[in-house]
Structure 1
Amino acid sequence: MQCLDATTKGQYERISYWQIKWHLLGGKNAQTWRNINPKIKEAEAYKEQGNVFYAKKDYNEAFNYYTKAIDTCPSNASYYGNRAATLMMLGRYREALGDAQQSVRMDDTFLRGHLREGKCHLSLGNAMAASRCFQRVLELDHKNTQAQQELNNSRTVLEYEKIAEADFEKRDFRKVVFCMDRALEFAPACHRFKILKAECLALLGRYPEAQSVASDILRIDSTNADALYVRGLCLYYEDCIEKAVQFFVQALKMAPDHDKACLACRNAKALKAKKDDGNKAFKEGNYKLAFELYTEALAIDPNNRKTNAKLYCNRGTVNSKLRKLDEAIEDCTSAIRLDDTYIKAYLRRAQCYMDTEQYEDAVRDYEKVYQTEKTKEHKQLLKTAQVELKKSKRKDYYKILGVDKNASEDEIKKAYRKRALMHHPDRHSGASAEIQKEEEKKFKEVGEAFTILSDPKKKARYDSGQDLEEDGMNMGDFDANNIFKAFFGGPGGFSFEASGPGNFFFQFG
């Protein structure tokens, strides 16, 4: 609203509200002041209405009336100060800062103006500028307790900034988050503090929290390069590399010299290319090349835990194909160390444990998988591992006879003949007591093995991991000599006789 002609307005803008009021009470140029007076009354009325709405916490209406007061009489410092206070209550600190600065330009002794300017600087994270404002208030009023408290707050924020900077260099990201949380209590509108906190949350693997902070900033300022970078960083660390690259590129459009976005974009592209090449080599059966490519990919960015977990698991799969099972287990363990929720790595490691007959470890991994995903497939894998574990704790009759698990009936008989003759006590009658005892034990085990594996029903129960005790069989009651006699036959029994030093032959009676 234009309240004065150009000449009068020029005169008016060079004087303060209090100068006008003094002149109205009997000063000079009475005619000029009579012309101005109605506008001052109108502006004051707007201000009073603004005060009423401010008291009611209706800050939007208060803002509108303070704006009308300023439009009517634009050279009154208190009007700008009031509007600054209203904008602060609305969280519009940058606009409030402009009004507060305008108020102190008009009147450098305006204490509330300096206080509000300082509060705005502090809320926006500029603690150094805030300190200067509060020090100015104390110069004008050394007993001003509010200014002293706010000055202390500013110094606290500066100290948190200093600590956070040092801790970021040390990669102590938890402490940086702590410092930024404390600083944001005094500087709630500081995007810089929020971005640093979000970046550290991403580096700590707390992606949803980091994304939330970055997204809040982008809703206010969609061109904020730092927020775009952090948003991309979260996607990158969650193995959404293509989407991450889009955010990094967008950040670089807003700020071409953004070093962090540039490095992250380069790493993301290189990581995706190596991983894709490794996958291609694996599908083509070129396991040696796939191993090399996955290894090169793992060296690109140690901080990308989720992608590296997949790379380790992929390399573990390659090693299992190459029958390097110990190396495969080690790679899967590295994958799980990076991502303890990675089901595929548990399944791969469990299979390797099964292949190396480490059944207890296999059961542990399958139990972890089944607790997470209760599918029929996972239940069956767990059950199979449990059966194999149970079987592994029994005597291995196939191993005792020295035959394969798929051995035929004839192969089992031939193996028994050989082993029974080898360990028969009569053959070792001249040996020491210790050796005789050991050979007798082995002879008995050979008899047990033959009894079980030569009977199709018992063999089937044994192979399925069932308890043979359920058949009423007590393995401790076996008479190995009776089994031996029954196998070799002959009414007159048998004996071992020496045919020379160290040589024996078997003779039926």
Structure 2
Amino acid sequence: MQSIIHPVNREHRFCAATGPRTWKRRRVLHPRCPLESHCLEEQTSNPNMTAREAESFKEQGNAYYAKKDYNEAYNYYTKAIDMCPKNASYYGNRAATLMMLGRFREALGDAQQSVRLDDSFVRFKNANAVIEYEKIAETDFEKRDFRKVVFCMDRALEFAPACHRFKILKAECLAMLGRYPEAQSVASDILRMDSTNADALYVRGLCLYYEDCIEKAVQFFVQALRMAPDHEKACVACRNAKALKAKKEDGNKAFKEGNYKLAYELYTEALGIDPNNIKTNAKLYCNRGTVNSKLRKLDDAIEDCTSAVKLDDTYIKAYLRRAQCYMDTEQYEEAVRDYEKVYQTEKTKEHKQLLKNAQMELKKSKRKDYYKILGVDKNASEDEIKKAYRKRALMHHPDRHSGASAEVQKEEEKKFKEVGEAFTILSDPKKKTRYDSGQDLDEEGMNMGDFDANNIFKAFFGGPGGFSFEASGPGNFFFQFG
């Protein structure tokens, strides 16, 4: 039986030895041949037509590349290479496409082939540099050197600006560095192109989580896990977010109920969940500081508030809480510093008044504390002030210490004078008011260095013949009027 020829299955293949249009036949298996197992197929080997078809495939690849459809571009460049495997530019184009797809090892192979065919394509050796940046970034991520990872990804993206994997790694590190708007922008760009990208959804959630928008963050983590149930990072972040939210809310509830001990324990447990969540931890430290202030553990409260502002130096509430603790512990310079920080940030009337009060207390603290000298409370009555003066004046009167060393006599004389000053100010309602308000007493025309403490003593005790201290036994004295 005669063989069946199938011209419809012609294939154009490049053959340097053939003419402009030559045909050759080869036997192929065909099911319609009952007596023969093979039939002949015509095949063309016109080199000009082959080159034109290859160029057509390349142009279609270029069109898809321009539209950023890198998968289709890759397919057409591959067809061009299949037809003309000796064309360096086709390998170069496919290498560039593979880089856009993040397939850098394959890109390096194509780039090397393009260079072997034509050394003018040496620029595609950059694929090797990208692979090195990727390796360095992986190592630095493990070391938590996120700034260096961002640097490496920026360099890699110069060669492969559409690589989602590099963009995601950069965005995650930006989030870890607290650069949330930049991280969100990168993730949002990816989600606009692919709304199901689990990595981008994870990064969006991570930014919200670190900005203490925990409830919204959980929604993104859950969505990421729907797209990729085995997404380990999203799973861990979702678990931490839910645990933080629960502990913080339980702590707040205990605080409102006045159970400060339980609130302290819950806030402490929450602080141990995720040390990377800076903003939430800053709030937890401030909350625990508030608990400590309620428990009158003021030093601990100051320490917690300090931890809060170290994590977030814009956290006004922590500065205010610490400033109040400084006021309560009479550390006025520190209180003024915190209130100044607050007022510079938020210039409200309330903050201005708090600063003014702290400055007044600081000014007052630098003067002699007449209440302390007399040993009375700031709310002492007139009688209490008189009794205190009587006791302290007799205790420090120079005559009582006439037998002591010169150093002791000098110290007691100083104290005797201070007791007189204190009584002069606190026994006069007008002067006492000015002193309590922090105003300068010298404005009253009173120079505290000029008065005579003995005259105050005499005026207080009275008696026409003066007074003297006489010994009534070893170490004992009594006061006698003349």
TM-score by length of 2: 0.90
User: What residue in structure 1 maps to residue 27 of structure 2?
Assistant: none
Q: Is the 8 A contact 2:420 2:453 kept in 1?
A: yes
How far did residue 27 of structure 1 move?
4.5
Asked if 1:312 is matched to 2:285, the reply is: yes
How do residues 50-449 of structure 1 correspond to structure 2 at under 5 angstroms?
76-139=53-116, 141=117, 143-146=118-121, 148-150=122-124, 152-449=125-422
Q: Which amino acid aligns with 2:88?
A: L
User: What residue in structure 2 maps to residue 473 of structure 1?
Assistant: 446
The residue matched to 1:79 in structure 2 has which SS? helix
* Cα distance in 2 between the residues matched to 1:485 and 1:467: 27
Q: Which amino acid aligns with 1:145?
A: S
User: What residue in structure 2 maps to residue 460 of structure 1?
Assistant: 433
Q: Deviations over 1:297-341 (max 9, x none)?
A: 000000001000000000000000000000000000000000000
Q: Deviations over 1:225-246 (max 9, x none)?
A: 0011011001000000000000
Of the candidates 3, 9, 12, which is equivalent to residue 11 of structure 1? 9
Q: Is the 8 A contact 1:387 1:465 kept in 2?
A: yes
Q: Deviations over 1:437-478 (max 9, x none)?
A: 100000000000000000000000000000001101111012
Q: Is the 8 A contact 1:444 1:478 kept in 2?
A: no
After TM superposition, the structure 1 stretch with the greater mean CA deviation from structure 2, 93-102 or 273-282, is 93-102
Q: Which runs of 5+ in 1 are unaligned?
A: 1-6, 30-43, 45-72
Q: Is the 8 A contact 1:332 1:345 kept in 2?
A: yes
Moved over 4 A (4+): 25-29
Q: Which runs of 5+ in 2 are unaligned?
A: 1-5, 25-48
* Cα distance in 1 between the residues matched to 2:21 and 2:127: 45
Q: Which amino acid aligns with 1:97?
A: Y
* Cα distance in 2 between the residues matched to 1:445 and 1:406: 20
Q: Is the 8 A contact 1:163 1:179 kept in 2?
A: yes
* Cα distance in 2 between the residues matched to 1:319 and 1:200: 35
After TM superposition, the structure 1 stretch with the greater mean CA deviation from structure 2, 82-91 or 183-192, is 82-91
Q: Is the 8 A contact 2:244 2:270 kept in 1?
A: yes
Q: Which amino acid aligns with 1:149?
A: R
Q: Which amino acid aligns with 1:310?
A: K
TM-score by length of 1: 0.86
* Cα distance in 1 between the residues matched to 2:75 and 2:324: 67
Q: Is the 8 A contact 2:111 2:127 kept in 1?
A: no
* Cα distance in 2 between the residues matched to 1:309 and 1:97: 50
* Cα distance in 1 between the residues matched to 2:199 and 2:22: 57
How far did residue 490 of structure 1 move?
1.1
Q: Is the 8 A contact 1:93 1:189 kept in 2?
A: no
User: What residue in structure 1 maps to residue 43 of structure 2?
Assistant: none
How far did residue 272 of structure 1 move?
0.5
| Number of residue pairs matched by the alignment | 453
Whose helix fraction is larger, Structure 1's or Structure 2's?
1
The residue matched to 1:505 in structure 2 has which SS? strand
Q: Is the 8 A contact 1:347 1:366 kept in 2?
A: yes
Q: Is the 8 A contact 1:485 1:493 kept in 2?
A: yes
* Cα distance in 1 between the residues matched to 2:211 and 2:115: 51
How far did residue 502 of structure 1 move?
1.3
After TM superposition, the structure 1 stretch with the greater mean CA deviation from structure 2, 498-507 or 446-455, is 498-507
User: What residue in structure 2 maps to residue 33 of structure 1?
Assistant: none
Q: Which amino acid aligns with 1:483?
A: I
Q: Is the 8 A contact 2:130 2:159 kept in 1?
A: yes
Q: Which amino acid aligns with 1:88?
A: Y
Q: Which amino acid aligns with 1:343?
A: I
* Cα distance in 2 between the residues matched to 1:93 and 1:15: 27
* Cα distance in 1 between the residues matched to 2:444 and 2:412: 28
How far did residue 26 of structure 1 move?
5.6
Q: Is the 8 A contact 1:211 1:230 kept in 2?
A: yes
Q: Is the 8 A contact 1:402 1:415 kept in 2?
A: yes
Q: Deviations over 1:327-370 (max 9, x none)?
A: 00000000000000000000000000000000000000000000
Q: Is the 8 A contact 2:363 2:438 kept in 1?
A: yes
The residue matched to 1:387 in structure 2 has which SS? helix
Q: Provide the aligned C-alpha RMSD in A.
A: 2.0
Q: Is the 8 A contact 1:278 1:293 kept in 2?
A: yes
Q: Deviations over 1:260-285 (max 9, x none)?
A: 00000000000000000000000000
The residue matched to 1:475 in structure 2 has which SS? coil
The residue matched to 2:449 in structure 1 has which SS? helix
* Cα distance in 1 between the residues matched to 2:439 and 2:86: 95
* Cα distance in 2 between the residues matched to 1:256 and 1:490: 97
* Cα distance in 2 between the residues matched to 1:421 and 1:94: 100
Compared CA separation, residues 242 and 389, structure 1 to 2 (3 A)? same
* Cα distance in 1 between the residues matched to 2:317 and 2:357: 18
Q: Which amino acid aligns with 1:82?
A: E
How far did residue 500 of structure 1 move?
1.6
User: What residue in structure 2 maps to residue 3 of structure 1?
Assistant: none
Q: Deviations over 1:415-447 (max 9, x none)?
A: 000000100011111111111110000000000
Q: Is the 8 A contact 2:54 2:81 kept in 1?
A: yes
Q: Is the 8 A contact 1:81 1:112 kept in 2?
A: no
Q: Is the 8 A contact 2:335 2:358 kept in 1?
A: yes
Q: Is the 8 A contact 2:88 2:115 kept in 1?
A: no
How far did residue 137 of structure 1 move?
2.6
* Cα distance in 2 between the residues matched to 1:288 and 1:226: 41
Q: Which amino acid aligns with 1:15?
A: H
